[in-house]
Structure 1
Amino acid sequence: MIKVGIVGGTGYTGVELLRLLARHPEVKLTAVTSRKEEGMPVAEMYPSLRGWVDIAFSDPAKADLKQCDVVFFATPNGIAMSQAQALLDAGVKVIDLAADYRIKDVSTWEHWYGMQHASPGLIAEAVYGLPEINREQIRQARLIANPGCYPTAVQLGFLPLIEAGIIDTSHLIADCKSGVSGAGRKAEVHALFAEAGDNFKAYGVAGHRHLPEIRQGLARVAGHEVGLTFVPHLTPLIRGIHATLYARLNKPADIQALYEQRYANEQFVDVLPAGSHPETRSVRGANVCRIAVHQPQGGDTVVILSVIDNLVKGAAGQALQNMNILFGLDERAGLDVVPLLP
């Protein structure tokens, strides 16, 4: 059994990770930390886990995380970077669900996240955990930077077009919508029901933290810098991301066949039949990205529709998928979940 620890188990990403790990056949949950909730049974905070998770939150300073095989950081940005090195030195694998190791350029990271990086020496070693691109590197990793939710939906959507070299990568557009759980489990005015309910708005148009992560990922595939306009929106949903992506073709191609072939062997990317319009509710609770491709009026503009559950394929599910790869397990272990409907 794989001994698993979770640092920061009280947020939405943490409870989603617990939900998935609780039914994983090869996992023994060893520690779930929270300074504030030390001693409280996890199932007392999250009754949905009654009968599935029977341990209590522990103080991270007292939890023996070095006895784990892998530790997940489901924490705010800036926490993993101060604790990862000690765990790696003890032979523990680390999967960070925050952004501490996603961006390779330290100065870029510090600019967007507004703090000094505590362990810049680990950034080069960290493997970006998007399995559909980096599966072989993930197998050999000690430290995995789990991708962000928007970056997952956008990169999976654009990936086949960029790999094929058939679009103008200087003018890409990502028009994205997210549910409020993406903001985390904290009290903020914009996420109050009376503020977010029955409302729809763009935010971060001048610049969002996920922009450099998306650009970095797409540039690696393209082999050069890309031009990307990324506009996120907040919707009155709890879960879900819908990314509408636009690109201009520079040569004719069978786009539907391209996507079907690229993702034919990917268990967690579902290319829908031509003419489809994926819905966020079709992926609720599941570790899957559903994609549909369109070429309106047969013109040279390609429209890609990409939907994920921001807490699963956009966070905890992808982290578990990375753990399965890391330990040589079936990638579906713990993730063979049917989406919830309605």
Structure 2
Amino acid sequence: MDGIHASNGEGSGSQPRRVMVTGTAGFIGFHLARLLLAQGRHVCGYDGLTDYYDLALKRRRHEILFQHPNFRATEAMLEDEAMFWKTAETFAPDAIVHLAAQAGVRYSLENPRAYIESNVVGTFNVMEAARRLGVSHLLMASTSSVYGGNDKMPFAETDKADLPLTIYAATKKASEAMGHSYAHLWNLPTTVFRFFTVYGPWGRPDMVPYKFVQAMVEGRPIDIYNNGDMYRDFTFVDDLVRGIGMLLDTPPVRPDRRSEAIAGDSLSPVAPYRIVNIGNSEKIRLLDFIDAIEAELGIEATRNYMPMQMGDVTATWADSSLLNRLTGYRPHTDFREGVAQFVAWFRDYNGRPKR
């Protein structure tokens, strides 16, 4: 393992046993909660169960988590400061993982206010609770969308990310900046992780894998933007949450001097704060991903090629070497295997027979 030692910003404290996770009825939060519970930790979820997409899917995820004796949850909005504080104070977490957000790049064009309220105001409430409780580690989800108009790839955490193309990306960038301020002012160890295109079982119906599979099994065409000239760093959800779980046990430490930060590390020179990419580090052509879905379903898609969408980017590609140096781990699931697992879950969840 090419590790970063504690003097270079890696914490060496005990593993958090009580973890508060926002967004546990969501796709990633559900998988992370299951992982943490399997590790023997106690998890307190917090989720607003908004109707942005199918509530039945969200409720089913929570039902599965509630079967575990070490899981509890509050169903309320992040913007409800009093309820969030009451929940956090009662549970008294060792660490907080903040995943809940108004998601979706395209929806931010229709309803930008929802993103300000959830992703900025809601995140502020989470940070305030973390500060008041003095948690050992605050982890917050960001997105590869913050790289925006950058054309240097693969994206590295030390690259500037000052060109967001959507309100969604802008709110995530704002949350990163607020997180750094809190880390500096209150010596609050904070890790921000930037997700790339996440997919897998229990995925969101508004995301490409679910939309494509559902359309194909129902005999409808699929919309392919930019005439198919699109590339994404598809990251399987199990790989993602494993990375989060390992970062949870790796809180950053404020460096004594700027020179202590090693090359390639995003550790702040003035705060216990770090940004980490979590991606498969592989740029996959969207058309190859569709080919994999077709092969798994045994169905040829009717392809509707369309121009580029406003606010979208042609490619994302992660440099995940910092994650590997910090934890010894690198996401690795081949997209064909990931597609196979997603299709198997989709058939099971929707009661569709295997081919």
- TM bin, normalised by shorter chain, reads 0.3 to 0.5
Higher relative contact order (CA 8 A, sep 6+): 2
So what's the TM-score if we normalise by structure 1?
Answer: 0.35
So what's the TM-score if we normalise by structure 2?
Answer: 0.34
In proportion to residue count, which structure has more strand?
1
